[in-house]
Structure 1
Amino acid sequence: MPNMDNEKSNDAKAEEFKIQANEAFKAHKFALAINLYTKAIELNEDNAVYWANRAFAHTKLEEYGSSIQDASKAIEIDPKYSKGYYRRGAAYLAMGKFKDALKDFQQLKRICPNDPDATKKLKECEKAVMKLKFEEAISVPEAERRSIADSIDFRTIDVEPQYSGARIEGDVVTLEFVKKMMDDFKNQKSLHKRYAYQIVLQTREMLQSLPSLVDIDIPHGHGTHFTVCGDVHGQFYDLLNIFELNGLPSEENPYLFNGDFVDRGSFSLEVILTLFAFKCMSPSAIYLARGNHESKSMNKIYGFEGEVRSKLSEAFVELFAEVFCCLPLGHVLAGKVFVVHGGLFSVDGVKLSDIRSIDRFCEPPEEGLMYVTKKFLQDNNLDLIVRSHEVKDEGYEIEHEGKLITVFSAPNYCDQMGNKGAFIRFEAPDLKPNIVTFSAVPHPDVKPMAYANNFLRMFS
């Protein structure tokens, strides 16, 4: 009998953890919720609800791969558990995998034929897949595709006399221009599309000539420093705050923005034009890495595409997609610090030379990055890895005995996570990482995801 009592007490304890996890989830403490659901699962791994709930918490942290694994486990335990299909379908959608999502919503409809919500989501999903098939059918094969950049001559675009915004005189982007442009953006004024074209095209030219892995020298002198920022996600007013706290980018005050500049936040265009303009002003004042949101499939879903279409034009949607393919994949600071958006690779034994030889000029594959920190550092004679990509309550997290730092620079992410933002200042000569955290600042009343795919809003 004691064994049965033991099982009972384990089940009761697991339920307690689930209740605590649900409370944490309601309070938007998703990482804590995941830990508590994990404890429940460790005590009772045959409960599909725990797995599906943890899947939902993973989705909230944008850990879609983990969400799909957990939801699949829930389905394996109980093939008739509707929430398992719902959670997995939502995670597939979030990754832009519409066809996989469709299968899950079809199954959901079979299990809950009279549920109006399931019917609505299935209809939307069918629409998205039809649209995707249509786009695939009419798209020009990659090999035959002409670069849109080659067909644009910004010099032929007239600027109307009544335009009172920032202007670029000739070919040179000056600090005065960038300051005036940022000030206009702050007051919700737009930049003339002639100058927007000029900035994006000049940035493209610069990025095209860079290797996939960029080495950055940091002078040894005292007082020299280098700042690394994580995801900004279209939070323009928080970007201005970073510059307020840490100074504007310049050769003496260089920055690296480690991917995910756009999407979700509804001022993504302002963010990307500001970062690109600084790059044009002084290539060594700012370095830019590609994140998973610098891709067509993500921009289609999470708002950047809709925002660019609304604020500029369809041609710019194509142009940004092209330029994002030119962004380098990673950076090495002073030969010692490896900075990459997502983290390390799922395969072992990767050398920096492997990364250098990647042909990056394409849309990113869906599989990739993570783990094996110590060995990677030893193999490549490095001291530290810096990554971004994940929301952290304090804006950063230090793991693997101090060898891995995650930095995230979008505070109160999506106006609801309540997290701090952070950036890292590396101080010469020893490149000691100094982490600065900051809180969100107010922004005009335009909600995150304002330009996003309607379909996704149904799930948020």
Structure 2
Amino acid sequence: MLNYFWGKGPKGPEMGQEEKGKAGDSDTSVGSGSPAADPAEELKSAANEAFKDHKFAHAVDLYTQALEIRSDNAILYANRAFAHIKLEEYGSAVEDASKAIEIDPLYPKGYYRRGSAYVALGKFKDALKDFRQVAKIRPRDPDAQKKLKECEKAVQKLRFEEAIAQEEQDHPSVAETIDVSSMEVEPAYDGPRLEGDQLTLEFVKEMLETFKKQKKLHRRYAFQILLQIREMLKSTPTLVDVTIAPGAHFTVCGDVHGQFYDLLNIFELEGLPSLENPYLFNGDFVDRGSFSVEVIFTLFAFKCLYPTGLYLSRGNHESRSMNKIYGFDGEVKAKYSDNMAELFAEVFCALPLAHLLNNKVLVVHGGLFSQDGVKLDDIRKIDRFREPPDEGLMCELLWSDPKPGTGRSPSKRGVGVAFGEDVTKAFLEDNRLDLIVRSHEVKEEGYEIEHDGKLVTVFSAPNYCDQMGNKGAFIRFKSDMKPKYTKYSAVPHPNVRPMAYANNFLNFLS
């Protein structure tokens, strides 16, 4: 996660007085009089403390209560925008920052928070407009000028990449250009070796030991795994039917996000994937965590080894745009090569979008839809072999979130839709299902049951990005389809920070 802040003050929400006299900050207190006499000031102070303790959802609640008292305060809106950014609720962050700007058009933090949210959404051109405004308000501030130049570079690079992508649309798949047989395994290579094309359990176990030592799998074997998984996924349906036989079990995991050592801990707790011990990993295998390469090769290798012992669903982070921003693209290029990063993008477009367990439980990464009447056959018919669109069924499967209450509303993320209990109930009834399992959101206890027990969120990356303090969890189903939850804490990992390979401008904002 990122510390988006402005100026020389503390890396956190605006405390009240540290920037008095600067442009846009002439009214730095929430109310008049001493803080102790002002309920809004007290709430703001409590929200700031919650923020510093990484209790970002609680901070949002407290800022909201303060805004109910002082709805004309730009600082409160900017601070709440900051908390929304930490929760990856970028749509809400844009909305709050825009409100701060509306209240005070010369308040630089409003533009800075909105620009930061736009960067997180990959909307660099919109971000550029806001950073230009910051630099205009503070023309003598070197930090403002530096951030503007970095944003201009990012936009220039984005335009160049878009032009290259357009030129390469008619080119053959990168998979067709790779000749594994020509890649020599050097005598000095001390990792696992494979005779022939078929992966073995011994090879995969040796690969895990290699990764634990922070060593790389030889590029020949890495490409071999990628090409094999690509062929396997190409023939996989968009909605995969899974049968859990009497006496058998099936484990569903949520986001792992490049936390390789926590993935190994899951296998310590639940056993390695096999035909008798099958798993489903429900998207967002990569990005943010800086061991995403190790995570994805582990999952792909077990999938190649046991096609019905490990299942994979696409998440919103299995996409080219997210990977370029949040680290996976940079990590692959740093550890291997540009053409391997391109091959990963092709493979991700072949991942299925949903799994149906015993015709009773639907597992998707994000959530449900902006329209009523969607049937399972509609999911089966989605053309998934592409980058995720900005709207429609595929987008909503990857991006949507549940909300309390009923009805639908715009997503706090700025993509997908927020759907209520009635939407979940109607979808389950229309499709004769009992439960929806989804991931996509950090949960303090690793999972959360919502919508009258008809929807479960499971998240498997504990202490997300090394600072959220959350538990991880997974769900085990037996043939009776009653979920059993296991929670666990984060385990130590080598001293490589999250987002180490992220977009340069995103890191520049940290």
Change (3 A) 1:396 1:108: same
What does 1:53-452 correspond to in 2, within 5 Å?
53-141=79-167, 143-219=169-245, 221-222=246-247, 224-367=248-391, 368-369=395-396, 370=400, 371=419, 372-428=423-479, 430-452=480-502
1:384 maps to a residue whose letter is L
Where in structure 1 are there 5+ consecutive unaligned residues?
A: 1-6
Q: CA deviation at 1:79?
A: 2.6
Task: Evaluate the alpha carbon distance shift between residue 351 and residue 16 of structure 1 in structure 2; reply closer, same or farther with a 3 A threshold.
Answer: farther
Secondary structure of 1:424's match?
strand
- CA distance in 2 between counterparts of 1:15 and 1:374 reads 41
- Quick check: 446-455 or 94-103, which moved more? 446-455
- Quote how far apart the aligned CAs of 1:136 are: 2.2
How far apart are the structure 2 equivalents of 1:168 and 1:276? 16
1:337 deviates by 1.1
Q: Structure 1 pair 189/212, CA: closer, same or farther in 2 (3 Å)?
A: same
The one-letter amino acid of 2:492's match is P
Moved more, 282-291 or 335-344: 335-344
| Closer/same/farther in 2, CA of residues 332 and 41 from structure 1, 3 Å limit | farther
Please state how far the C-alpha of 1:13 moved relative to its aligned partner: 2.7
In structure 2, do the counterparts of structure 1 residues 44 and 356 end up closer, same or farther at CA, with 3 Å as the change threshold?
farther
Deviation string for 1:77-133 (max 9, x for gaps)?
Answer: 333322221111101101111111111111222222222222111111000111111
Q: Cα gap change, 1:131/1:446 in structure 2, threshold over 3 Å: closer, same or farther?
A: same
Amino acid at match of 2:333: R
Deviations along 1:348-370, whole A, 9 cap, x unmatched? Answer: 33222222111111111234433
* TM-score (normalizing by structure 1): 0.94
CA-based RMSD: 1.8
Pair 1:293–1:13, CA change in 2 (3 A): same
In the superposition, relative to structure 1, how do residues 160 and 454 fare at CA in structure 2: closer, same or farther (>3 Å)?
A: same
Q: Report if the CA contact (8 A) 2:244-2:478 is conserved.
A: no
Tell me how far 1:194 sits from its aligned partner: 0.7
CA–CA distance in structure 1, aligned partners of residues 452 and 68 of structure 2: 26
For residue 458 of structure 1, what is the aligned residue in structure 2? 508
Supply the distance in 2 between the matched residues of 1:17 and 1:349 (Cα, whole angstroms). 43
- Write the deviation string for residues 169-204 of structure 1: whole angstroms up to 9, x where unpaired: 212111111111111111112111111011011001
Show CA shifts across 1:431-458 (max 9, x none): 1111111111111111111112221112
The alignment partner of 2:483 has SS state of strand
Q: Distance in 1 between matches of 2:168 and 2:214?
A: 37
Counterpart Cα distance in 2 of 1:107 and 1:302: 25
> C-alpha distance in 1, partners of 2:111/2:163?
29
Give 3-state SS (helix, strand or coil) of 1:176's partner: helix
- Separation of aligned partners in 2, 1:284 and 1:205: 15
SS of the residue 1:228 aligns to: strand
Corresponding residue for 2:43?
Answer: 17
Match of 2:409 in 1: none
Alpha-carbon shift at residue 137 of structure 1 (Å): 2.5
Identity across aligned pairs (percent)?
A: 71
Letter in 1 for 2:192: A
**Alpha carbons of 1:46 and 1:380: their partners in 2 closer, same or farther (altered >3 Å)?**
farther
Structure 2: gaps spanning 5 or more residues: 1-31, 401-418
Taking the aligned partners of 1:64 and 1:424, their CA distance within structure 2 comes to 29
Q: Which residue of 1 aligns with 2:53?
A: 27
Please tell me whether the aligned partners of residues 183 and 220 of structure 2 are also in contact (alpha carbons under 8 angstroms). yes
Number of the residue aligned with 2:15: none
